[in-house]
Structure 1
Amino acid sequence: MVVLHVKLAPPAAAAATAAASSPMQDVDEETEFLYECAASAVVADVAAALGALAGLQAAILSLCRRLRARCAGAMGELERALDEAEAYASKEQVQRNRFLSPRALREHIKNIEKKCANTLQEPLEALSLQESSSDNKHERIQIWWAGKELAMDQKLSDYIGVNDKTKIVVRLIEARDEC
């Protein structure tokens, strides 16, 4: 299996000078994770999986940040659930050579929702903390490796070869429509 060390580009990657002054740049530059796939995988399938994982990771980190700001001083089970979710979704998992699981990320979100309802006696919807689905945000992902955009209709092996014991660092960039 090929290991992809995925780094997310800042939202304004196309306009690097604008991104330098963006407060969200710090959050997005910190976003990294590991993903494992076959060298024979189609780039479009890999991009879809990476986009979904990136969306879940961003949702957890954002939810934890907003809940901590909104519910400062929340103690006990909610605080523990937030700590566990942040630790699982953090870039430190890359340093420990651990892969993110979409199932585990969804379980952390459900756990936070449950603890929030129990601790605060309110569902997330009542606190206005639930974001709209982030699936659309990562719908038009581009994968870059070695300074080149990977074509969606190609296989990963067309770029990195057929060796399944390869580890590469790729950058995800959200494609934007320029008007």
Structure 2
Amino acid sequence: MVKIHVKRGDENRFLFETNCGVSLNELTTQLARLHNGMLKVSRLCQEIELLADHGVLIPPQMQGLTDEQVSELHLIDEWVEKCVPSGGSVECADPVGRRNGKAPNEKMKEVLRRTVSEAKAAISKDLVEANVCMTEATIKDTLDKLSGAVTIVYPMGLPPHDPIRMEFEGTEDLTGTQASKEVLDEATAQLWWAGKELTREKSLGDFIGKNEKTKIIAKLQKKGQGAPGREPVFSEEEKKQMMFHAYHRQEELKKLETTNEDQYLNSEWSDPHALKKQFTGLGNISWRPK
């Protein structure tokens, strides 16, 4: 099987296993879908951590307002009584005023936090170094676990405006957010390798050959972004090793230069008694035992 180390810019994303005969249209779509799925898991983990700390999201028209402002405007959050976490809630005000401050109790918090920790591990970039490949089944299983944990803590469900619910239902609107810049259009995403775009009309083998034991580093790009930067010839670890050896070699040369400067003192021509020894026949006498 061909292994593809997928990167986005200079950032590691995941490993993926495929074969040389796969259509690049199918492959690029799969890789973009996995990339987007990992982003969805990451967004959910972030929001579920806030859910554990500060409760459900309040209606958009009430966000950021003080209690006095809410009272003056006669605004009511009808979901406060509907969305009570299992085992009751504890007061924990949201400093940014997005969530209602009715956090789950410690036991329920642990359910959410443990699941989030497992989800982060499932999409970790460290999996690349561990040689673990990403699959759509992994993404689906991770999303199912996150959904199950939220259901355990909030069996009555979350408000329709809560981003966690919208993410699970696929109705999230990322327009104008930083997250929208990271999501790829599966139909138009581009895959690049060795400075070349792997055009969707061909197969992977048309570019990398027919060796099924090949491993390549490929980069996902949005359409119109142009060619990504090429991979450096040496990795950071290799650069550090080369610098270490260069420094070590430099120190050795310095020592040799110092040694050579004094070496003449042991030379025959520098001996002030050399002429006398020559005439007396003592020039080649060695006092070392044989």
TM-score by length of 2: 0.50
> 1: CA distance between counterparts of 2:123 and 2:143?
11
1:6 maps to: 6
Aligned amino acid, residue 115 of structure 2:
A
Aligned amino acid, residue 104 of structure 1:
T
Q: Does 1:32 align with 2:13?
A: yes
> How has the CA–CA distance of structure 1 residues 109 and 35 changed in structure 2, closer, same or farther, with 3 Å as cutoff?
same
After TM superposition, give the deviation of residue 133 of structure 1 in Å.
5.9
**Cα deviation code 1:56-104 (max 9, x no counterpart):** 1111011101221343276222111111111111111101000112112
**Cα deviation code 1:26-52 (max 9, x no counterpart):** xxx645100011111111111111111
Unaligned segments of structure 2, at least 5 residues: 55-103, 173-182, 226-290
1:172 maps to: 220
Higher relative contact order (CA 8 A, sep 6+): 1
Aligned amino acid, residue 86 of structure 1:
K
> How has the CA–CA distance of structure 1 residues 101 and 34 changed in structure 2, closer, same or farther, with 3 Å as cutoff?
same
After TM superposition, give the deviation of residue 118 of structure 1 in Å.
1.4
> 1: CA distance between counterparts of 2:115 and 2:136?
17
Q: How does 1:151-162 map to 2 (within 5 A)?
A: 151-162=199-210
Q: How does 1:17-166 map to 2 (within 5 A)?
A: 30=11, 32-72=13-53, 75-121=109-155, 123-124=157-158, 126=160, 127-129=162-164, 130-131=166-167, 132=170, 137-166=185-214
Aligned amino acid, residue 159 of structure 1:
F
After TM superposition, give the deviation of residue 176 of structure 1 in Å.
5.2
After TM superposition, give the deviation of residue 138 of structure 1 in Å.
2.8
**Cα deviation code 1:86-125 (max 9, x no counterpart):** 1111111101000112112111111111111212445356
> How has the CA–CA distance of structure 1 residues 122 and 173 changed in structure 2, closer, same or farther, with 3 Å as cutoff?
farther
> How has the CA–CA distance of structure 1 residues 31 and 133 changed in structure 2, closer, same or farther, with 3 Å as cutoff?
farther
CA contact (8 A) 1:42 1:155 kept: yes
1:26 maps to: none
> How has the CA–CA distance of structure 1 residues 145 and 136 changed in structure 2, closer, same or farther, with 3 Å as cutoff?
closer
> 2: CA distance between counterparts of 1:150 and 1:133?
31
Structure index of larger Rg? 2
Aligned amino acid, residue 56 of structure 1:
G
CA contact (8 A) 2:12 2:128 kept: no
> How has the CA–CA distance of structure 1 residues 91 and 124 changed in structure 2, closer, same or farther, with 3 Å as cutoff?
farther
CA RMSD of aligned residues (A): 2.4
Helix, strand or coil: the match of 1:99?
Answer: coil
CA contact (8 A) 1:113 1:124 kept: no
After TM superposition, give the deviation of residue 173 of structure 1 in Å.
0.7
**Cα deviation code 1:117-140 (max 9, x no counterpart):** 212445356433233468973331
Aligned amino acid, residue 222 of structure 2:
E
> How has the CA–CA distance of structure 1 residues 163 and 137 changed in structure 2, closer, same or farther, with 3 Å as cutoff?
same
